[in-house]
Homo-oligomer: A and B are copies of this chain.
Protein backbone atom coordinates (compact mmCIF):
# COMPACT_ATOMS: atom_id res chain seq x y z
CA UNK A 1 0.00 0.00 0.00
CA UNK A 2 2.96 2.37 0.47
CA UNK A 3 3.88 1.88 -3.16
CA UNK A 4 0.32 2.17 -4.37
CA UNK A 5 0.90 5.41 -6.22
CA UNK A 6 4.48 4.72 -7.31
CA UNK A 7 4.80 4.93 -11.12
CA UNK A 8 1.06 5.00 -11.42
CA UNK A 9 -0.12 5.75 -14.95
CA UNK A 10 3.38 5.92 -16.36
CA UNK A 11 3.83 4.65 -19.87
CA UNK A 12 5.97 1.54 -20.25
CA UNK A 13 6.86 1.07 -16.59
CA UNK A 14 3.83 -0.51 -15.03
CA UNK A 15 4.83 -2.65 -12.06
CA UNK A 16 3.58 -6.21 -12.07
CA UNK A 17 1.65 -7.32 -9.00
CA UNK A 18 4.62 -9.45 -8.14
CA UNK A 19 7.06 -6.58 -8.41
CA UNK A 20 4.85 -4.38 -6.30
CA UNK A 21 4.77 -6.97 -3.54
CA UNK A 22 8.53 -7.36 -3.69
CA UNK A 23 9.08 -3.62 -3.51
CA UNK A 24 6.54 -3.23 -0.74
CA UNK A 25 8.37 -5.87 1.24
CA UNK A 26 11.49 -3.69 1.22
CA UNK A 27 9.83 -0.92 3.23
CA UNK A 28 11.30 -1.00 6.71
CA UNK A 29 9.59 1.93 8.35
CA UNK A 30 7.06 4.72 8.15
CA UNK A 31 7.82 8.15 9.56
CA UNK A 32 6.05 11.48 9.89
CA UNK A 33 7.81 14.81 9.57
CA UNK A 34 6.42 18.28 10.22
CA UNK A 35 6.34 20.90 7.49
CA UNK A 36 9.69 22.57 6.69
CA UNK A 37 11.78 19.84 8.27
CA UNK A 38 14.96 18.86 6.45
CA UNK A 39 14.96 15.11 5.85
CA UNK A 40 18.27 14.63 4.03
CA UNK A 41 21.23 16.98 4.11
CA UNK A 42 23.40 17.52 1.09
CA UNK A 43 26.51 15.33 1.24
CA UNK A 44 25.13 13.02 3.92
CA UNK A 45 25.82 9.34 3.34
CA UNK A 46 22.54 7.57 2.65
CA UNK A 47 21.54 4.13 3.89
CA UNK A 48 17.96 4.20 2.68
CA UNK A 49 15.69 6.01 0.27
CA UNK A 50 12.40 7.76 0.85
CA UNK A 51 9.04 6.99 -0.66
CA UNK A 52 6.61 9.85 -0.18
CA UNK A 53 3.25 8.54 1.02
CA UNK A 54 1.44 11.72 1.95
CA UNK A 55 2.16 15.45 1.71
CA UNK A 56 4.60 17.42 -0.40
CA UNK A 57 8.38 17.44 -0.30
CA UNK A 58 11.03 19.39 -2.13
CA UNK A 59 14.67 19.30 -3.06
CA UNK A 60 16.71 22.50 -3.15
CA UNK A 61 20.10 24.15 -3.32
CA UNK A 62 21.18 27.25 -1.45
CA UNK A 63 23.06 30.13 -2.99
CA UNK A 64 25.72 32.13 -1.22
CA UNK A 65 23.24 34.48 0.40
CA UNK A 66 21.13 31.60 1.67
CA UNK A 67 18.45 32.02 -0.99
CA UNK A 68 17.00 28.72 -2.08
CA UNK A 69 16.35 27.38 -5.53
CA UNK A 70 13.98 24.43 -5.49
CA UNK A 71 15.06 21.82 -8.01
CA UNK A 72 12.15 19.45 -7.47
CA UNK A 73 8.77 19.17 -5.83
CA UNK A 74 7.46 15.74 -4.91
CA UNK A 75 3.92 14.49 -4.68
CA UNK A 76 2.63 11.33 -3.02
CA UNK A 77 3.89 8.21 -4.79
CA UNK A 78 7.27 9.73 -5.65
CA UNK A 79 10.44 7.92 -4.70
CA UNK A 80 11.97 11.17 -3.53
CA UNK A 81 15.63 10.29 -3.24
CA UNK A 82 15.92 7.03 -5.07
CA UNK A 83 18.82 8.58 -6.96
CA UNK A 84 20.62 8.52 -3.64
CA UNK A 85 20.85 4.78 -4.05
CA UNK A 86 23.36 4.68 -6.92
CA UNK A 87 24.86 8.08 -6.01
CA UNK A 88 25.25 7.32 -2.26
CA UNK A 89 25.31 11.01 -1.36
CA UNK A 90 23.16 13.83 -2.65
CA UNK A 91 24.16 17.16 -4.12
CA UNK A 92 21.17 18.92 -2.53
CA UNK A 93 18.95 18.95 0.54
CA UNK A 94 15.59 17.20 0.78
CA UNK A 95 12.88 18.72 2.95
CA UNK A 96 9.20 18.48 3.76
CA UNK A 97 7.16 21.31 2.26
CA UNK A 98 4.06 20.32 4.22
CA UNK A 99 3.63 17.79 7.00
CA UNK A 100 4.47 14.47 5.38
CA UNK A 101 4.36 10.72 5.83
CA UNK A 102 7.19 8.78 4.28
CA UNK A 103 8.16 5.14 3.96
CA UNK A 104 11.83 4.23 4.06
CA UNK A 105 13.51 1.58 1.92
CA UNK A 106 16.99 0.41 2.92
CA UNK A 107 19.60 0.39 0.20
CA UNK A 108 20.73 -3.12 0.96
CA UNK A 109 17.20 -4.31 0.27
CA UNK A 110 17.43 -2.52 -3.07
CA UNK A 111 20.71 -4.32 -3.72
CA UNK A 112 18.97 -7.65 -3.43
CA UNK A 113 15.92 -6.51 -5.33
CA UNK A 114 17.84 -5.17 -8.31
CA UNK A 115 20.14 -8.17 -8.49
CA UNK A 116 17.28 -10.62 -8.53
CA UNK A 117 14.93 -8.60 -10.73
CA UNK A 118 16.54 -6.76 -13.63
CA UNK A 119 13.14 -5.75 -15.01
CA UNK A 120 12.16 -4.10 -11.75
CA UNK A 121 15.59 -2.51 -11.55
CA UNK A 122 14.94 -0.96 -14.93
CA UNK A 123 11.64 0.45 -13.67
CA UNK A 124 13.33 1.97 -10.64
CA UNK A 125 15.90 3.45 -13.00
CA UNK A 126 13.02 4.73 -15.14
CA UNK A 127 11.50 6.44 -12.14
CA UNK A 128 14.68 8.44 -11.53
CA UNK A 129 14.69 9.37 -15.21
CA UNK A 130 11.22 10.81 -14.86
CA UNK A 131 12.64 13.13 -12.25
CA UNK A 132 15.34 14.11 -14.72
CA UNK A 133 12.69 14.76 -17.38
CA UNK A 134 10.92 17.03 -14.92
CA UNK A 135 14.23 18.80 -14.26
CA UNK A 136 14.44 19.47 -17.98
CA UNK A 137 10.94 20.88 -18.10
CA UNK A 138 11.91 23.15 -15.23
CA UNK A 139 14.98 24.29 -17.19
CA UNK A 140 12.72 25.21 -20.05
CA UNK A 141 10.44 27.00 -17.63
CA UNK A 142 13.24 29.06 -16.09
CA UNK A 143 15.08 29.68 -19.32
CA UNK A 144 12.28 30.56 -21.68
CA UNK A 145 9.13 31.61 -19.83
CA UNK A 146 8.22 34.88 -18.19
CA UNK A 147 6.84 35.03 -14.67
CA UNK A 148 3.23 34.29 -15.64
CA UNK A 149 4.34 31.44 -17.87
CA UNK A 150 6.48 29.92 -15.13
CA UNK A 151 3.66 29.91 -12.63
CA UNK A 152 1.21 28.57 -15.20
CA UNK A 153 3.65 25.84 -16.23
CA UNK A 154 4.26 24.82 -12.65
CA UNK A 155 0.54 24.64 -11.89
CA UNK A 156 -0.14 22.60 -15.05
CA UNK A 157 2.63 20.19 -14.16
CA UNK A 158 1.50 19.81 -10.58
CA UNK A 159 -2.09 19.30 -11.64
CA UNK A 160 -1.06 16.62 -14.12
CA UNK A 161 1.08 14.81 -11.57
CA UNK A 162 -1.61 14.98 -8.93
CA UNK A 163 -4.21 13.73 -11.38
CA UNK A 164 -1.98 10.76 -12.13
CA UNK A 165 -2.07 9.76 -8.48
CA UNK A 166 -5.73 10.65 -7.96
CA UNK A 167 -5.22 13.85 -6.00
CA UNK A 168 -6.66 16.32 -8.48
CA UNK A 169 -9.71 16.27 -10.68
CA UNK A 170 -8.16 18.69 -13.15
CA UNK A 171 -10.06 21.72 -11.92
CA UNK A 172 -8.76 22.09 -8.39
CA UNK A 173 -6.30 20.64 -5.95
CA UNK A 174 -4.97 21.31 -2.49
CA UNK A 175 -1.29 22.05 -2.10
CA UNK A 176 -0.15 23.55 1.14
CA UNK A 177 2.71 25.65 -0.15
CA UNK A 178 3.28 29.36 0.19
CA UNK A 179 3.87 32.03 -2.41
CA UNK A 180 7.44 32.12 -1.17
CA UNK A 181 7.77 28.46 -2.09
CA UNK A 182 6.45 29.23 -5.56
CA UNK A 183 9.02 32.01 -5.80
CA UNK A 184 11.79 29.54 -4.97
CA UNK A 185 10.46 27.18 -7.60
CA UNK A 186 10.14 29.80 -10.32
CA UNK A 187 13.34 31.73 -9.64
CA UNK A 188 11.46 34.93 -8.84
CA UNK A 189 10.84 37.08 -5.77
CA UNK A 190 7.79 36.46 -3.57
CA UNK A 191 6.60 39.99 -4.23
CA UNK A 192 6.58 39.44 -7.96
CA UNK A 193 4.91 36.06 -7.61
CA UNK A 194 2.16 37.73 -5.66
CA UNK A 195 1.54 40.31 -8.36
CA UNK A 196 1.57 37.77 -11.15
CA UNK A 197 -0.75 35.40 -9.31
CA UNK A 198 -3.12 38.28 -8.92
CA UNK A 199 -2.90 39.00 -12.65
CA UNK A 200 -3.68 35.37 -13.45
CA UNK A 201 -6.63 35.54 -11.12
CA UNK A 202 -7.89 38.79 -12.70
CA UNK A 203 -7.61 37.18 -16.13
CA UNK A 204 -9.84 34.38 -14.81
CA UNK A 205 -7.21 31.76 -15.59
CA UNK A 206 -6.40 30.35 -12.17
CA UNK A 207 -6.73 31.20 -8.51
CA UNK A 208 -4.28 30.16 -5.80
CA UNK A 209 -5.30 31.12 -2.30
CA UNK A 210 -5.01 29.43 1.04
CA UNK A 211 -3.27 26.47 -0.51
CA UNK A 212 -6.19 25.77 -2.84
CA UNK A 213 -5.47 25.95 -6.55
CA UNK A 214 -8.51 26.34 -8.77
CA UNK A 215 -7.99 26.11 -12.48
CA UNK A 216 -10.64 28.30 -14.06
CA UNK A 217 -9.48 28.04 -17.65
CA UNK A 218 -7.28 24.98 -18.27
CA UNK A 219 -6.77 25.74 -21.95
CA UNK A 220 -5.47 29.23 -21.38
CA UNK A 221 -3.42 28.05 -18.39
CA UNK A 222 -1.67 25.45 -20.53
CA UNK A 223 -1.10 27.91 -23.32
CA UNK A 224 0.24 30.51 -20.93
CA UNK A 225 2.74 28.00 -19.56
CA UNK A 226 3.46 26.46 -22.99
CA UNK A 227 2.72 23.23 -21.20
CA UNK A 228 2.96 19.93 -23.02
CA UNK A 229 2.74 16.94 -20.66
CA UNK A 230 4.76 14.61 -22.89
CA UNK A 231 7.71 14.72 -20.55
CA UNK A 232 5.67 13.15 -17.75
CA UNK A 233 5.36 9.92 -19.77
CA UNK A 234 1.79 9.47 -18.65
CA UNK A 235 -0.39 6.81 -20.23
CA UNK A 236 -3.67 7.51 -22.01
CA UNK A 237 -5.71 6.87 -18.93
CA UNK A 238 -4.01 9.67 -17.05
CA UNK A 239 -4.02 12.03 -20.01
CA UNK A 240 -7.77 12.34 -20.43
CA UNK A 241 -7.92 15.95 -19.39
CA UNK A 242 -4.35 16.95 -20.19
CA UNK A 243 -4.20 17.68 -23.90
CA UNK A 244 -1.26 19.44 -25.47
CA UNK A 245 -1.37 23.16 -26.11
User: What is the bound-complex CA distance between A64 and B231, given in angstroms?
Assistant: 16
Is A187 part of the binding interface, using a Cβ–Cβ cutoff of 8 Å?
yes
User: Is A129 an interface residue, CB under 8 A from the partner?
Assistant: yes
Query: What DSSP secondary structure best describes chain A's contact surface?
Result: helix
Contact of A235 with B by CB under 8 A: no
Give CA–CA (A121, B138) in the complex, Å.
28
Of A18-26, A86-94, A157-165, the one contacting chain B is A86-94
Q: Is the CB of A61 within 8 A of B140?
A: yes
Chain B neighbourhood of A12, CB < 8 A: 87-88
* Interface residue range, chain A: 35 or more
Q: Give the distance in Å from the alpha carbon of A128 to the alpha carbon of B138 in the complex.
A: 18
A27 to B69, CA, bound (A): 39
Decide yes or no whether A203 CB sits under 8 A from chain B: no
User: Closest CB of chain B to A106's CB: distance in Å?
Assistant: 16
Q: Are B64 and A132 in contact (CB under 8 A)?
A: no
Given B61, B63, B118, which contacts A118 in the complex, CB threshold below 8 Å? B118
Distance in angstroms between the alpha carbons of A63 and B146 in the assembled complex: 12
A10 to chain B, nearest CB (A): 10
Chain A residues within 8 Å of B, Cβ to Cβ:
12-13, 42-43, 59, 61, 63-64, 67, 69, 71-72, 83, 86-88, 91-92, 114-115, 118, 121-123, 125-126, 128-129, 131-133, 135-140, 142-145, 184, 186-187, 226, 230-231, 233, 245
Given contacts A12-B87, A63-B140, 17 further A-B contacts (CB under 8 A): A61-B136, A63-B145, A64-B226, A69-B143, A71-B140, A83-B132, A86-B122, A86-B125, A86-B126, A87-B133, A91-B230, A118-B121, A128-B132, A132-B132, A132-B135, A135-B135, A142-B187
